[in-house]
Amino acid sequence: MNPVLIVGCGDIGRRIAARVAPRRLLALVRSAESAERLRSQGITPFQADLDADPDVLDVPVAGHEVFYLAPPPGEGERDDRVARVCRRWRGDSLPQRLVYLSTSAVYGDCAGAWIDESAALRPASARGRRRLDAENQWRRWSGETGVPVVVLRVPGIYACDRLPVKRLRAGLPVLSPGDSPYTNRIHADDLAQVCLAAMARGTAGGAYNVADGQPTTMTDYFFKVADCLGLPRPPVVDRQTAEQRLSASMLSFLAESKRLDNRLMLRQLGVRLQYPDLTAGLAGCRSETAADSP
């Protein structure tokens, strides 16, 4: 069994960690609070800031299975964090294998079409372009070092403790179902099991859509979450009103519509989803225990 390193061990990292023997595991986080939280869960933390000088990245990596889950910086068109790591991990001290968690934003807007992993990569937002930059850097690094890399393209992540509660309580509007884009989702626990399956069975150089395969409109998502938590459904508005009332980041999500085909993930990774649709994933969620999406 190879040792495991999780770079960016937040919510998904902790769910992966729960499935790995603690003695095999090292988890990199940025803040002292997150390091303490991991320690209290019996996980050995390594505290380092991927934005700082590469010398702080002295995390032992040789022979490790690496899950790289840290997000790109919040601005710009490139992922400088990945660039630093790729410069640092060279020579003799190389991981055994690496799984990179990307996003479905790399596809850009697909006008609601069903898309598999062969679809063109045309990110429309800077958020998507940073992710594509990271994918490309990992691919180049893999070619240069020989370390196998598997890319996971992930849409909206949800779980009972990561639902849009604040947004629903604030009464922020949604588009009418006819105007609303398709969105795709994956339950956080299923994402954790897919990460492990990709490490074990993913094709080197391959990319996988990681979704439950049951896309619905974004409005339907907010309605279902509201109904499940016993909160009022959000008001429905037209696009012009939405543009005045919603944040730039929410508007960038509303500008993209696609339906993710997950068949490659199911077939090649041999995954059996615990939450194959939103109804299964929301069953048992209560407003008292629900918390906001990170």
Q: Which residues bind ligand NAP (CB under 6 A)?
A: 8-13, 29-31, 34, 48-51, 69-71, 81, 101, 103, 154, 156-157, 293-294
How many Cβ atoms from other residues are within 10 Å of residue 27's Cβ? 30
- Closest C-alpha to 16, from 84, 85, 72, 65: 65
Q: How far is the CB of 185 from ligand NAP (least distance, A)?
A: 8
3 state DSSP class of 205: coil
Task: Return the number of the residue (217 or 237) whose C-beta is nearest ligand NAP.
Answer: 217
Q: How far is the CB of 105 from ligand NAP (least distance, A)?
A: 8
* Residue sitting closest to ligand NAP (CB): 10
Q: How far is the CB of 33 from ligand NAP (least distance, A)?
A: 7
Q: How far is the CB of 22 from ligand NAP (least distance, A)?
A: 17
Q: How far is the CB of 20 from ligand NAP (least distance, A)?
A: 15
Q: How far is the CB of 240 from ligand NAP (least distance, A)?
A: 27
How many Cβ atoms from other residues are within 10 Å of residue 75's Cβ? 9
In the numeric block, which tokens belong to residue 107?
Answer: 């596809």
Task: Return the number of the residue (232 or 251) whose C-beta is nearest ligand NAP.
Answer: 251
Task: Return the number of the residue (131 or 237) whose C-beta is nearest ligand NAP.
Answer: 131
DSSP state of 119: S
Instruction: Evaluate whether 85 touches 58 at the Cβ level (below 8 Å).
Output: no
Q: How far apart are CA 127 and CA 77, in angstroms?
A: 8
Q: How far is the CB of 29 from ligand NAP (least distance, A)?
A: 4
Task: Return the number of the residue (60 or 294) whose C-beta is nearest ligand NAP.
Answer: 294
| Partners of 175 in the β-ladder | 237
Task: Return the number of the residue (34 or 142) whose C-beta is nearest ligand NAP.
Answer: 34
Task: Return the number of the residue (72 or 234) whose C-beta is nearest ligand NAP.
Answer: 72
In the numeric block, which tokens belong to residue 264?
Answer: 């490659």
3 state DSSP class of 44: strand
Question: Nearest 5°: CA angle at 215, between 214 and 219?
Answer: 130
Task: Return the number of the residue (81 or 97) whose C-beta is nearest ligand NAP.
Answer: 81
3 state DSSP class of 288: coil
Q: How far apart are CA 126 and CA 132, in angstroms?
A: 10
CA–CA distance from 261 to each of 30, 103, 122, 206 (Å)? 34, 14, 17, 15
